[in-house]
Chains A and B, each alone.
Chain A
């Protein structure tokens, strides 16, 4: 939802402009580089993404950037999700939030994104309009501009409607040094909210596996939350946004990069009851399920309370919780104290999550 009253475009009510309406579906010509490609850019993407750098329609965006002693952060991510629209979001929102969040967890303020589209012949034009409008809304909300892009079309049957790649740049302010290898024994491990919502929301509407779960994707831009955290504790050591692979993958990455162990208290990890129920049903572990609007932070003990308070005062961190700590023992290994007082290793996930037989 775009709440900014100054925003002239109604992204959610956006309808397909002429002359694109002549083509109710994407055809090969939309990727030809000729007039049809140009129409798609001029009549769909430019009005929605609308900014000076993009509107020049050059082969590149030329950007004014003031680093002021800060450092440039640069990232890229590709988005393939089925179905394209799911409870709480769509591929367009994900494509903006995913790259914004990859920048944000370095402490960077995200500034500019690129957007590359691979469209499947036959994709309804209305679906593309909805996805692009959703991207525009998400970018507007996150305060970033989509300044350059590309569109290709592949034969019907060779894609899932639309794939999106976004790259992004942002500026890390001077003095901020948040990196996966910076975690230290004693650090307090904090998550910004409940885990597994996105993965379960997408699974709940996936073909062949529909179930009625009152769960929506948590997709959200995290840079505002990160800024509030850094204001409260500029010495935050490490952050990750646990997307694919879930919290387990992010913690294993940080443990390996920093050479610390991680000891979790399983009972302190927040998971919504319907997410837990869905995971029980499918034989999945919420620690391995994807999130799109959560982060995990390693914070020195002296700053932990201030950072936690700042997180809880932010709408995207209201359910933030301390879930464990970094330890000198078992470097590179993530372990958990279990609900019944036992202990276990929380390993790196292997491949795709496979529901168990029984």
Chain B
């Protein structure tokens, strides 16, 4: 397939891997920020082809994983209301709240629907004027423009039976939180190419300078990721700390101006809790005042009182910060599996624990199944 096969070509990837082996002289810890990258790495087995000196840690860039438990509980409470049609991206449905997940609420009679775009939720609202359609607005800067557009269109078309449960998060504050942590061991970043496609990468330059870490804007195919790692290792070996672009076929420094405009129009930055990590200042989006009537937490006032506590065993917070690997968790694969997840990193197919469970079990360090 054009634009994909070239980036999955064994000899091309092998050539970059050879170069990584050649330039690496010391141990380095590099974090891939995005869950999509984690999946591609584990699915292709790329991590097992790197020099032993390179440690990849899996970042917090999985929207399903970082959505706080409390918000899942709010989603469940809203979805259970008889007047509500609850619309969501598919993989949010299996995320366990304190008691159950959205699939369970659906089986109890709630109208929960999988949509592929927030604009589909708007279409459902138009078709069901007697119901309130609530869309679960999760994601990073990648999904924010489309989610913002749905709210903007609802406003323009005066569709009043539409609301959004907003749990948007942004990447740069999370990177800074990780770098500021006393337990941090991340020395370089592969930034999430889809996020940079929207936002550009100018806002990463002060982070690279302040924390003296290389940041390489990286795509999602094995060759993209290998290239990103090579550029990060070269910087580390040469004591440079710049923002470089290894995903130029998609990302420009200034990003997508139209997408940024709709985000600015509809959303404003706010403090946001990350599942397993805690509250990171100014790390999320909420609806601006002119759009506040589409805020599901305001529309269903009772849900704002809901609060919840995480499992004590689960180390997903440490996994999301790159401090621990999924298989270092005592519950991994035993108490905690994709069927019965304790933490969100086991739930989403993009979560680091799920990726380890799905593709990495039974493999020895040489990459052979054991």
**A contact set with B: CB distance below 8 Å:** 208-209, 261, 263, 273, 276-277, 280, 283, 329-330, 333, 335, 338-345, 347, 350-351, 354-358
Partner of A343, one of B45, B91, B139, B143: B45
Q: Which residue of B lies closest to A284 (CB)?
A: B349
B285 CB, min distance to chain A CBs, angstroms: 15
Question: What would be 21 A-B contacts, judged by CB atoms less than 8 Å apart?
Answer: A280-B4, A329-B370, A335-B363, A335-B369, A338-B44, A338-B45, A340-B9, A341-B10, A341-B14, A343-B48, A343-B363, A343-B369, A344-B360, A345-B358, A345-B359, A345-B360, A345-B362, A354-B90, A354-B93, A357-B91, A358-B139
Contacts of A330 in B (CB 8 A): 362, 369-370
Provide the bound-state CA to CA distance between A175 and B246, in Å: 60
A208 proximity list for chain B (CB < 8 A) = 113-116, 120
A-side contacts of B114, CB under 8 Å:
208, 354-355
Q: Are B358 and A329 in contact (CB under 8 A)?
A: no
Q: Which residue of B lies closest to A347 (CB)?
A: B358
Separation of A283 and B43 alpha carbons in the complex (Å): 13
Which chain B positions have C-beta within 8 A of A261? Answer: 369
A357's partner among B1, B13, B143, B361 (CB-CB below 8 A) is: B143
The interface residues of chain B lying within 8 Å CB-to-CB of A276 are 1, 4
Smallest CB–CB gap between A345 and chain B, Å?
5
Query: Within 8 Å CB of A340, what residues of B?
Result: 8-10, 13-14, 44-46, 49, 222-223
A343 in contact with B194 (CB, 8 Å): no
The distance in angstroms between the C-alpha atoms of A261 and B369, with both chains bound, is: 9
Q: Across the interface, which residues of A come within 8 angstroms of B73, CB to CB?
A: none
What is the interface residue range for chain B against chain A?
35 or more
Please pick, from B13, B89, B338, B339, the residue contacting A355 in the complex, using a CB distance under 8 A. Answer: B89
**B94 beta carbon closer than 8 Å to chain A:** yes
Taking CB atoms, residues of chain B closer than 8 Å to A355 are 89-91, 114, 116
A333-B362, A351-B94, A354-B349 known; A342+B49 contact, CB < 8 A: yes
B5 to chain A, nearest CB (A): 9
Looking at the assembled complex, report how far the CB atom of A112 sits from the nearest CB atom of chain B, in whole angstroms.
37
- Cβ of B184 to closest chain A Cβ, rounded Å: 26
- Smallest Cβ distance from A145 to chain B, in angstroms? 39
- Contact between chains at A344 and B36 (CB < 8 Å): no
Interface centre among B4, B223, B348, B359 (most CB of A within 10 A): B359
Beyond A333-B369, A340-B222, A357-B91: 10 further Cβ-contacts under 8 Å?
A: A208-B115, A208-B116, A335-B363, A339-B222, A343-B45, A350-B338, A350-B339, A354-B90, A354-B91, A358-B143
A interface: dominant SS: loop
B27 within 8 A of A: no
Chain B residues whose CB sits within 8 angstroms of the CB of A347 once the complex forms: 357-359, 361
Q: Are B94 and A354 in contact (CB under 8 A)?
A: yes
Query: Quick one: closest B residue to A261, CB to CB?
Result: B369
Known pairs A276-B1, A280-B1, A342-B49; A357 contacts B44 (CB<8 A)? no
Question: B109 at the A/B interface (Cβ < 8 Å)?
Answer: no
Which residues in chain B, 1-54, are within 8 Å of chain A measured between CB atoms? 1, 4, 8-10, 13-14, 36, 42-49
A276 to B2, CA, bound (A): 11
In this complex, what residue of B is CB-closest to A344?
A: B359
- CB-CB nearest in chain B for A352: B90
Taking a contact as CB atoms closer than 8 A, the residue among B43, B63, B94 that contacts A344 in the complex is: B43
Most chain B CB inside 10 Å of its own CB: which residue of A209, A340, A343, A351: A340
Name the one of A209, A273, A342, A354 contacting B46, with C-beta atoms under 8 angstroms. Answer: A342
Over the window 327-370 of chain B, the binary record of Cβ atoms lying under 8 Å from chain A Cβ atoms (1 yes, 0 no) is 00000000000110000000011100000011111110001111
Q: Is the CB of A339 within 8 A of B44?
A: yes
Given contacts A273-B1, A356-B91, A357-B91, contact A343 B358 (CB under 8 A): no
Q: A333-B362, A350-B339 are in contact. Are A358 and B44 (CB under 8 A)?
A: no
The smallest C-beta distance from A301 to any residue of chain B, in angstroms, reads: 21
Given the known inter-chain contacts A283-B349, A344-B360, please indicate yes or no for A209 contacting B116, CB distance below 8 A.
Answer: yes
For A338, list chain B residues within 8 Å (CB): 43-45
User: Nearest-CB distance from A268 to chain B (Å)?
Assistant: 13
Residues of chain B contacted by A280 (CB below 8 angstroms): 1, 4
Contacts of A342 in B (CB 8 A): 44-49, 367
Chain A proximity of B107: nearest CB distance (Å): 12
A351 to B47, CA, bound (A): 27
B358 cross-chain contacts in A, Cβ below 8 A: 345, 347
Pairs of residues from A and B, 7 with the lowest C-beta to C-beta distance, nearest first = A342-B45, A354-B90, A344-B359, A330-B369, A335-B369, A340-B13, A357-B89
- CB of B138 within 8 A of chain A? yes
Whether B235 is near chain A, meaning CB under 8 Å from some CB there, is: no
A271's nearest neighbour on chain B, judged by CB, is B1
Within the complex, the shortest CB–CB distance from B43 to chain A, in Å, comes to: 6
| B151 interfacial by beta-carbon distance below 8 Å | no
Scoring B residues 260 to 295 as 1 if CB is less than 8 Å from chain A, else 0, what string do you get? 000000000000000000000000000000000000
Interface membership of B190, Cβ < 8 A: no
Contact status B1-A344, CB under 8 Å: no
Question: In the bound complex, how far is the Cα of B44 from the Cα of A344, in angstroms?
Answer: 7
Contacts of A329 in B (CB 8 A): 368-370
Chain A nearest Cβ from B168, distance in angstroms: 12
CB atoms of B64 and A357 under 8 A apart: yes
Tell me if B142 is interfacial: C-beta within 8 Å of chain A: yes
Question: Of all chain A residues, which has the CB nearest B5?
Answer: A339
CA distance A299 to B352 in the complex (A): 37
| Min C-beta distance of A25 to chain B, whole Å | 23
How far is A276 from B90 in the complex, measured between Cα atoms in Å?
A: 20
Q: How far is the CA of A355 from the CA of B115 in the complex (A)?
A: 9
A347 to B359, CA, bound (A): 7
Kindly list chain B residues whose C-beta atoms are within 8 Å of the C-beta of A277. 1
CA distance A283 to B116 in the complex (A): 12
Can you name the residue of chain B whose Cβ is closest to the Cβ of A276? B1
User: What CA separation (Å) do A340 and B4 show in the bound complex?
Assistant: 13
Using CB atoms, name the residue of chain A closest to B45: A342
Contact B13 A341 (CB under 8 A): yes
Looking at the assembled complex, report how far the CB atom of A33 sits from the nearest CB atom of chain B, in whole angstroms.
31
Residues in A with CB closer than 8 Å to B362 are 330, 333, 335, 345
B202 to chain A minimum Cβ distance, whole angstroms, is 22
With CB as the reference atom, state the residue of chain A lying closest to B63: A357
Given A273-B1, A356-B91, A358-B143, A344 and B8 contact (CB-CB distance below 8 Å): no
Which of A209, A261, A350, A351 is most buried by chain B, counting CB atoms within 10 A of its CB? A350
Cross-chain contact B8 with A339 (CB below 8 angstroms): yes
